[in-house]
Amino acid sequence: GGNLLYLYQGFWCPQVSIKGMMLFQQHFKAQETDLILASIPKSGTTWLKALTYTIVNRSHHSLEKSPLLTNGPHGVVPFLEFDISSRNQFLEQDKLPEPRIFGTHSPYTALPCSVKDSAAKIVYVCRNPLDMFISYWKFSVNIPKENEKHLSLGDAFDKFCQGLHGYGPFWDHLLGYWKASLERPDKVLFLKYEDIKKNNVPCIKKLANFLGLPFSVEEEEQGLIEEISRLCSFESMKNYEATMTGTGPLGIPASAFLRKGQVGDSLNYLTPSMVSRVENLIQEKLQDSGLSFCRSSAF
Protein backbone atom coordinates (compact mmCIF):
# COMPACT_ATOMS: atom_id res chain seq x y z
CA GLY A 1 0.00 0.00 0.00
CA GLY A 2 0.92 3.63 -0.42
CA ASN A 3 1.74 4.20 3.24
CA LEU A 4 4.51 1.64 3.40
CA LEU A 5 7.91 3.09 4.12
CA TYR A 6 11.24 1.30 3.92
CA LEU A 7 14.26 2.37 5.89
CA TYR A 8 16.89 2.84 3.20
CA GLN A 9 20.30 4.27 4.11
CA GLY A 10 18.84 6.06 7.10
CA PHE A 11 15.77 7.49 5.34
CA TRP A 12 12.14 6.41 5.09
CA CYS A 13 11.64 5.70 1.44
CA PRO A 14 8.08 5.20 0.11
CA GLN A 15 7.45 1.85 -1.53
CA VAL A 16 6.61 3.55 -4.83
CA SER A 17 10.09 4.94 -5.22
CA ILE A 18 12.41 2.48 -3.50
CA LYS A 19 13.26 0.71 -6.74
CA GLY A 20 13.70 3.96 -8.62
CA MET A 21 15.92 5.35 -5.91
CA MET A 22 18.20 2.33 -6.02
CA LEU A 23 18.36 2.36 -9.82
CA PHE A 24 19.14 6.07 -9.75
CA GLN A 25 21.94 5.52 -7.26
CA GLN A 26 23.43 2.63 -9.18
CA HIS A 27 22.96 3.50 -12.84
CA PHE A 28 22.63 7.23 -13.29
CA LYS A 29 25.63 8.83 -14.94
CA ALA A 30 25.65 12.55 -14.38
CA GLN A 31 26.84 14.86 -17.12
CA GLU A 32 28.89 17.92 -16.25
CA THR A 33 26.03 20.21 -17.27
CA ASP A 34 23.24 18.41 -15.37
CA LEU A 35 20.96 20.32 -13.04
CA ILE A 36 19.48 18.34 -10.19
CA LEU A 37 16.50 19.82 -8.31
CA ALA A 38 16.19 18.20 -4.90
CA SER A 39 13.57 18.48 -2.16
CA ILE A 40 11.36 16.69 0.30
CA PRO A 41 7.88 16.33 -1.24
CA LYS A 42 5.65 19.39 -0.76
CA SER A 43 8.45 21.86 -0.33
CA GLY A 44 8.01 23.69 -3.64
CA THR A 45 9.51 21.20 -6.10
CA THR A 46 6.97 21.99 -8.82
CA TRP A 47 7.70 25.71 -8.51
CA LEU A 48 11.47 25.19 -8.59
CA LYS A 49 11.11 23.01 -11.69
CA ALA A 50 9.16 25.74 -13.48
CA LEU A 51 11.59 28.50 -12.48
CA THR A 52 14.70 26.54 -13.41
CA TYR A 53 13.31 25.33 -16.70
CA THR A 54 12.26 28.85 -17.66
CA ILE A 55 15.59 30.43 -16.69
CA VAL A 56 17.52 27.80 -18.62
CA ASN A 57 15.40 27.94 -21.76
CA ARG A 58 14.61 31.67 -21.83
CA SER A 59 16.67 32.31 -24.92
CA HIS A 60 15.52 29.21 -26.82
CA HIS A 61 11.94 30.35 -27.35
CA SER A 62 9.72 33.21 -26.31
CA LEU A 63 8.14 32.63 -22.93
CA GLU A 64 4.62 32.44 -24.37
CA LYS A 65 5.73 29.48 -26.46
CA SER A 66 7.47 27.69 -23.62
CA PRO A 67 6.87 23.91 -23.51
CA LEU A 68 6.31 24.50 -19.79
CA LEU A 69 2.87 25.89 -20.66
CA THR A 70 1.81 22.87 -22.64
CA ASN A 71 3.65 20.09 -20.84
CA GLY A 72 3.70 21.47 -17.30
CA PRO A 73 6.67 21.47 -14.93
CA HIS A 74 6.53 17.70 -14.45
CA GLY A 75 6.42 17.16 -18.20
CA VAL A 76 9.55 19.19 -18.83
CA VAL A 77 11.48 18.07 -15.73
CA PRO A 78 11.28 14.33 -15.01
CA PHE A 79 11.79 12.84 -11.56
CA LEU A 80 14.78 10.57 -11.32
CA GLU A 81 13.16 8.04 -9.04
CA PHE A 82 9.58 8.10 -10.35
CA ASP A 83 9.59 8.71 -14.07
CA ILE A 84 12.65 6.66 -14.87
CA SER A 85 12.00 3.21 -13.56
CA SER A 86 14.31 0.93 -15.47
CA ARG A 87 17.99 0.73 -16.20
CA ASN A 88 17.39 1.23 -19.89
CA GLN A 89 15.48 4.41 -19.28
CA PHE A 90 18.52 5.83 -17.52
CA LEU A 91 20.61 5.16 -20.59
CA GLU A 92 18.02 6.85 -22.80
CA GLN A 93 18.35 10.03 -20.79
CA ASP A 94 21.64 10.59 -22.59
CA LYS A 95 19.64 11.81 -25.56
CA LEU A 96 18.03 14.71 -23.71
CA PRO A 97 19.14 18.21 -24.68
CA GLU A 98 21.73 19.86 -22.46
CA PRO A 99 21.50 20.95 -19.81
CA ARG A 100 19.37 18.08 -18.60
CA ILE A 101 17.15 19.03 -15.65
CA PHE A 102 15.90 16.38 -13.22
CA GLY A 103 13.96 16.35 -9.98
CA THR A 104 14.72 14.07 -7.05
CA HIS A 105 13.65 13.49 -3.47
CA SER A 106 16.77 11.48 -2.67
CA PRO A 107 18.63 12.54 0.45
CA TYR A 108 22.05 14.05 -0.23
CA THR A 109 23.87 11.01 1.10
CA ALA A 110 21.98 8.71 -1.27
CA LEU A 111 22.82 10.67 -4.43
CA PRO A 112 24.95 8.76 -6.95
CA CYS A 113 28.67 9.51 -6.78
CA SER A 114 28.59 10.86 -10.32
CA VAL A 115 26.18 13.60 -9.21
CA LYS A 116 28.29 14.56 -6.22
CA ASP A 117 31.69 14.28 -7.91
CA SER A 118 30.92 15.87 -11.27
CA ALA A 119 30.35 19.54 -12.07
CA ALA A 120 26.59 18.86 -12.08
CA LYS A 121 24.76 21.47 -10.03
CA ILE A 122 22.25 20.80 -7.29
CA VAL A 123 19.47 23.14 -6.21
CA TYR A 124 17.64 22.22 -3.02
CA VAL A 125 14.36 23.78 -1.99
CA CYS A 126 13.01 23.40 1.53
CA ARG A 127 10.02 24.74 3.35
CA ASN A 128 8.87 25.38 6.88
CA PRO A 129 8.15 21.82 8.12
CA LEU A 130 4.72 22.86 9.44
CA ASP A 131 3.52 23.95 5.99
CA MET A 132 5.29 21.05 4.35
CA PHE A 133 3.48 18.63 6.62
CA ILE A 134 0.03 20.12 5.99
CA SER A 135 0.67 20.27 2.26
CA TYR A 136 1.70 16.59 2.36
CA TRP A 137 -1.30 15.55 4.41
CA LYS A 138 -3.77 17.45 2.21
CA PHE A 139 -2.11 15.98 -0.89
CA SER A 140 -2.20 12.41 0.38
CA VAL A 141 -5.83 12.44 1.50
CA ASN A 142 -6.80 13.49 -2.01
CA ILE A 143 -5.20 10.47 -3.58
CA PRO A 144 -7.51 7.48 -3.70
CA LYS A 145 -6.18 4.32 -2.05
CA GLU A 146 -7.16 0.72 -2.49
CA ASN A 147 -7.94 -1.39 0.60
CA GLU A 148 -6.44 1.17 2.87
CA LYS A 149 -7.50 4.09 4.99
CA HIS A 150 -5.85 7.48 5.04
CA LEU A 151 -4.18 8.45 8.27
CA SER A 152 -5.98 10.99 10.43
CA LEU A 153 -4.27 14.35 10.80
CA GLY A 154 -3.24 13.49 14.36
CA ASP A 155 -1.75 10.11 13.44
CA ALA A 156 0.06 11.48 10.40
CA PHE A 157 1.40 14.30 12.56
CA ASP A 158 2.73 11.90 15.22
CA LYS A 159 4.55 9.94 12.55
CA PHE A 160 5.91 13.08 10.96
CA CYS A 161 7.37 14.16 14.31
CA GLN A 162 9.06 10.76 14.57
CA GLY A 163 10.58 11.25 11.14
CA LEU A 164 8.24 8.62 9.68
CA HIS A 165 7.19 10.26 6.43
CA GLY A 166 8.31 10.06 2.79
CA TYR A 167 12.11 10.71 2.68
CA GLY A 168 12.07 11.62 6.38
CA PRO A 169 13.28 12.40 8.90
CA PHE A 170 12.93 15.89 7.46
CA TRP A 171 15.69 17.26 9.72
CA ASP A 172 18.26 14.84 8.32
CA HIS A 173 17.13 15.52 4.75
CA LEU A 174 17.44 19.28 5.30
CA LEU A 175 20.77 19.04 7.08
CA GLY A 176 22.34 16.85 4.40
CA TYR A 177 21.80 19.45 1.70
CA TRP A 178 22.34 22.40 4.06
CA LYS A 179 25.79 21.20 5.06
CA ALA A 180 26.68 20.40 1.47
CA SER A 181 25.66 23.94 0.46
CA LEU A 182 27.93 25.42 3.13
CA GLU A 183 30.85 23.24 2.13
CA ARG A 184 30.37 23.61 -1.59
CA PRO A 185 28.44 26.80 -2.36
CA ASP A 186 29.24 26.59 -6.08
CA LYS A 187 27.86 23.07 -6.22
CA VAL A 188 24.75 23.20 -4.03
CA LEU A 189 22.29 26.09 -3.79
CA PHE A 190 19.97 25.97 -0.79
CA LEU A 191 16.66 27.81 -1.20
CA LYS A 192 13.67 28.28 1.07
CA TYR A 193 10.08 28.37 -0.19
CA GLU A 194 9.34 31.31 2.10
CA ASP A 195 12.24 33.34 0.67
CA ILE A 196 11.23 32.68 -2.92
CA LYS A 197 7.70 33.73 -2.04
CA LYS A 198 8.80 36.94 -0.34
CA ASN A 199 11.76 37.90 -2.53
CA ASN A 200 10.75 36.43 -5.83
CA VAL A 201 12.82 38.54 -8.21
CA PRO A 202 16.06 38.45 -6.13
CA CYS A 203 15.68 34.69 -5.74
CA ILE A 204 15.22 34.18 -9.49
CA LYS A 205 18.37 36.25 -10.03
CA LYS A 206 20.25 34.23 -7.43
CA LEU A 207 19.14 30.99 -9.06
CA ALA A 208 20.18 32.21 -12.53
CA ASN A 209 23.59 33.33 -11.22
CA PHE A 210 24.11 29.99 -9.51
CA LEU A 211 23.22 28.13 -12.70
CA GLY A 212 25.84 30.18 -14.52
CA LEU A 213 23.12 31.90 -16.57
CA PRO A 214 22.98 35.43 -15.15
CA PHE A 215 20.54 37.94 -16.63
CA SER A 216 22.11 40.56 -18.86
CA VAL A 217 21.48 44.23 -18.21
CA GLU A 218 19.33 44.20 -21.32
CA GLU A 219 17.23 41.29 -20.07
CA GLU A 220 16.75 43.03 -16.74
CA GLU A 221 15.72 46.26 -18.42
CA GLN A 222 13.22 44.38 -20.55
CA GLY A 223 11.59 43.11 -17.35
CA LEU A 224 12.40 39.51 -18.14
CA ILE A 225 12.84 38.51 -14.50
CA GLU A 226 9.42 39.89 -13.60
CA GLU A 227 7.99 38.04 -16.58
CA ILE A 228 9.51 34.75 -15.40
CA SER A 229 8.18 35.46 -11.94
CA ARG A 230 4.68 35.95 -13.34
CA LEU A 231 4.85 32.92 -15.62
CA CYS A 232 5.81 30.71 -12.68
CA SER A 233 3.51 32.24 -10.07
CA PHE A 234 0.99 30.04 -8.33
CA GLU A 235 -1.91 31.82 -10.03
CA SER A 236 -0.45 31.45 -13.52
CA MET A 237 0.61 27.86 -13.07
CA LYS A 238 -2.72 26.82 -11.57
CA ASN A 239 -4.40 27.92 -14.78
CA TYR A 240 -2.10 26.26 -17.29
CA GLU A 241 -3.88 23.81 -19.53
CA ALA A 242 -1.21 21.30 -18.53
CA THR A 243 -2.05 21.77 -14.85
CA MET A 244 -5.78 21.46 -15.31
CA THR A 245 -5.77 18.41 -17.53
CA GLY A 246 -2.32 16.82 -17.30
CA THR A 247 -0.78 14.26 -15.00
CA GLY A 248 2.24 14.52 -12.76
CA PRO A 249 4.50 11.81 -11.33
CA LEU A 250 2.87 8.41 -10.60
CA GLY A 251 -0.15 9.37 -12.69
CA ILE A 252 -1.35 11.85 -10.06
CA PRO A 253 -3.35 14.75 -11.56
CA ALA A 254 -1.05 17.72 -12.13
CA SER A 255 -3.59 20.00 -10.42
CA ALA A 256 -2.89 18.23 -7.09
CA PHE A 257 0.57 19.84 -7.07
CA LEU A 258 -0.94 23.32 -6.88
CA ARG A 259 -3.24 23.57 -3.88
CA LYS A 260 -2.95 26.91 -2.08
CA GLY A 261 0.62 28.09 -2.44
CA GLN A 262 0.81 30.17 0.73
CA VAL A 263 3.10 30.61 3.70
CA GLY A 264 1.58 29.79 7.08
CA ASP A 265 -1.47 27.82 5.92
CA SER A 266 -0.56 25.09 8.41
CA LEU A 267 -1.55 27.43 11.24
CA ASN A 268 -5.16 26.98 10.09
CA TYR A 269 -4.97 23.25 10.77
CA LEU A 270 -2.54 22.63 13.62
CA THR A 271 -3.23 23.28 17.29
CA PRO A 272 -0.82 25.51 19.22
CA SER A 273 0.61 22.44 20.94
CA MET A 274 1.27 20.76 17.59
CA VAL A 275 3.00 23.91 16.39
CA SER A 276 5.23 24.07 19.44
CA ARG A 277 6.04 20.37 19.14
CA VAL A 278 7.46 20.92 15.65
CA GLU A 279 9.18 24.10 16.70
CA ASN A 280 10.87 22.28 19.57
CA LEU A 281 11.92 19.56 17.16
CA ILE A 282 13.40 22.16 14.81
CA GLN A 283 15.20 23.75 17.75
CA GLU A 284 16.58 20.44 18.91
CA LYS A 285 17.52 18.95 15.56
CA LEU A 286 18.71 22.03 13.69
CA GLN A 287 20.36 23.94 16.52
CA ASP A 288 23.84 25.22 15.74
CA SER A 289 23.29 24.49 12.04
CA GLY A 290 22.37 28.09 11.27
CA LEU A 291 19.19 26.88 9.57
CA SER A 292 15.88 28.41 10.68
CA PHE A 293 12.35 28.97 9.40
CA CYS A 294 9.69 31.60 9.56
CA ARG A 295 6.31 30.04 10.16
CA SER A 296 3.96 32.62 8.71
CA SER A 297 3.92 35.30 6.08
CA ALA A 298 3.53 37.87 8.88
CA PHE A 299 7.15 37.33 9.91
From the list 8, 25, 38, 42, which residue makes contact with ligand A3P (rule: CB under 6 A)? 42
Exactly one of 14, 20, 41, 99 binds ligand A3P (CB under 6 A); that residue is 41
Residue 22 or 252: the one with the smaller Cβ distance to ligand A3P is 252
CB of 49 to ligand A3P, least distance (A): 8
d(CA 132, CA 43) in angstroms, rounded, equals: 6
Cα–Cα dist 69/232, whole Å: 10
For ligand A3P, the binding residue among 172, 234, 264, 277 (CB under 6 A) is 234
Taking alpha carbons only, the member of 237, 287, 214 closest to residue 59 is 214
Please report which residue ranges of 104-169 form alpha helices under DSSP H: 113-117, 129-141, 153-161
- Structural contact between residues 101 and 52, judged by C-beta atoms closer than 8 angstroms: yes
Instruction: Please tell me the distance from the alpha carbon of residue 105 to that of residue 165, in angstroms, as a whole number.
Output: 12
Of 39, 266, 42, 40, the residue nearest 153 (C-alpha): 266
Site string for ligand A3P, 247-276 (x = CB under 6 A): ----------xxxxx---x-----------
Beta strands in 40-158 (DSSP E): 101-104, 121-126
CB-CB contact of 193 with 43 (8 Å) = yes
Residue 160 binds ligand A3P, judged by CB under 6 A:
no
- Residue (25 or 43) nearer to ligand A3P, CB: 43
Q: Is 116 in the site for ligand A3P (CB under 6 A)?
A: no
Coarse DSSP helix, strand, coil percentages of the chain, rounded to the nearest 5 percent: 55, 10, 35
Minimum CB distance to ligand A3P, residue 241 (Å): 16
Per-residue DSSP letter, 163: T
Contact with ligand A3P (CB under 6 A): which of 17, 25, 46, 200? Answer: 46
Task: Please select the residue that binds ligand A3P; options are 43, 52, 57, 93, rule is CB under 6 A.
Answer: 43
Which one from 74, 105, 165, 173 is the annotated catalytic residue? 105
105 catalytic, yes or no?
yes
Of 85 and 262, nearer to ligand A3P (C-beta) is 262
CA 191 from chain center: how many Å?
Answer: 10
Number of H helices, E strands in the chain: 15, 6
Q: Is 37 in the site for ligand A3P (CB under 6 A)?
A: no
Residue type, position 219, single letter: E
Stretch that binds ligand A3P, among 16-24, 60-68, 115-123, 227-235 (CB under 6 A): 227-235
**Under rule CB under 6 A, how many of the chain's residues touch ligand A3P?**
21
Stretch that binds ligand A3P, among 5-13, 41-49, 88-96, 165-173 (CB under 6 A): 41-49
Q: Contact with ligand A3P (CB under 6 A): which of 27, 116, 138, 179? A: 138
CB–CB of 146/211 below 8 Å? no
Select 46 or 93, whichever has its Cβ closest to ligand A3P: 46
Among positions 17, 135, 140, 229, the unique one binding ligand A3P when judged by CB under 6 A: 135
Cα angle 3-35-138, degrees, rounded to a multiple of 5: 30
Return the DSSP state at 36: E
Write out the catalytic residue numbers. 105
Q: Which residues bind ligand A3P (CB under 6 A)?
A: 39, 41-47, 131, 135, 138, 232-234, 237, 257-261, 265
